[in-house]
């Protein structure tokens, strides 16, 4: 069954890190309500929710995607691109260890989950302000033995690859060409986001459904014209933190329901690269 790891919104989200957006006041209570609606939407799509322990002291803690990448065989624990966010990693790793063996990529390599987009056995990895060449190389070394190919992608206008480019399924990528080099996706059909919706490429494919923010009607129309079933959510308050719909969960197939909290079935240390 599909499982999604999520974490509650920190009351300090107004102090989140920003790269490309001007800082606006974030209503933490409203952001928390929108996050609950996001979790409810995932549950409506048949996904079980497993909560990572709260981290109220971490303004960016709700963005659980960044500390790890889950594959069929293992979970890869990543060296975050900003030192202040590395305190978020242990609780994510401990939760994932209930489901999968762990592989750790260590600093000084830098890589965040928002820069990793999977299409089959290919992992497209953004070269961004949060992920460096050493991070890509060590990640490739970690996943290569499991049969995955890593392809770097230049990112130059947004925080992460998936801020400007996401896989919608059915051989289709949604992209903002102003922010991401789309040449690595030449074998795919590309939906270009409208010029007045530059942040609209962050979409989340779940089965036959594409989840996206409700404030991008132009991109929604383009997706629906291509035959995609779209579910739109109001995540406007969370978007002030440069968020969208991919970064607030880690979604993976698990063989069973959430195991009870207790001794991890995998070594907390795991493999290291």
Give Cα 87 to chain centroid, integer Å: 18
For 262, other C-beta atoms within 10 Å of its C-beta total: 7
Q: How far apart are CA 28 and CA 190, in angstroms?
A: 35
In terms of Cα–Cα distance, which of 97, 25, 90, 26 is closest to 61? Answer: 90
- Among 16, 104, 158, 160, which one carries the catalytic annotation? 160
Is residue 215 annotated as a catalytic residue, yes or no? no
Which of 58, 158, 166, 247 does the annotation list as catalytic? 247
Torsion, Cα 37 223 248 1, to 10 degrees, reads 80
The β-bridge partners of 205 are 210
Residue 158 falls in the annotated catalytic set? no
Total number of residues shown for the chain:
273
Give the β-pairing of 165-169 and 149-154: unpaired
Bond into 108 cis (ω within 30): yes
DSSP letter at 263? S
Q: Are 94 and 7 in contact (CB under 8 A)?
A: no
Would you state the structure tokens that stand for residue 207, as one six-digit string?
């089965």
Contacts of 39 (CB under 8 A, 6+ apart): 4, 6, 49
Catalytic residues: 160, 247
């Amino acid at each position: 069954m599909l499982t999604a790891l999520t974490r509650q919104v920190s009351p300090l989200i107004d102090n989140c890190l920003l790269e490309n957006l001007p800082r606006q006041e974030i209503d933490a209570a409203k952001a928390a309500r929108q996050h609950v609606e996001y979790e409810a939407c995932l549950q409506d799509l048949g996904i079980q929710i497993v909560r990572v322990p709260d981290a109220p002291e971490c303004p960016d803690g709700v963005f659980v995607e960044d500390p790890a990448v889950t594959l069929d065989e293992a979970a890869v624990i990543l060296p975050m691109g900003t030192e202040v966010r590395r305190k978020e990693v242990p609780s994510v790793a401990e939760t994932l260890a209930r489901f999968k063996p762990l592989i750790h990529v260590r600093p000084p390599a830098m890589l965040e989950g928002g820069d990793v987009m999977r299409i089959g056995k290919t992992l497209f990895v953004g070269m961004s302000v949060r992920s460096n060449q050493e991070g890509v190389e060590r990640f490739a070394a970690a996943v290569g033995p499991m049969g995955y190919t890593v392809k770097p992608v230049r990112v130059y206008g947004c925080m992460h690859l998936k801020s400007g480019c996401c896989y919608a399924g059915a051989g289709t990528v949604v992209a903002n060409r102003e922010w991401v080099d789309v040449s690595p996706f030449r074998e795919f059909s590309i939906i270009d986001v409208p010029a007045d919706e530059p942040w609209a490429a962050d979409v989340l494919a779940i089965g036959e459904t594409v989840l996206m923010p409700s404030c991008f009607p132009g991109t929604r129309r383009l997706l629906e014209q291509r035959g995609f079933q779209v579910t739109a959510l109001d995540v406007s308050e969370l978007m002030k933190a440069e968020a969208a719909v991919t970064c607030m969960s880690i979604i993976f197939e698990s063989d069973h329901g959430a195991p009870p909290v207790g001794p991890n079935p995998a070594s907390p240390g795991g493999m290291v690269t």
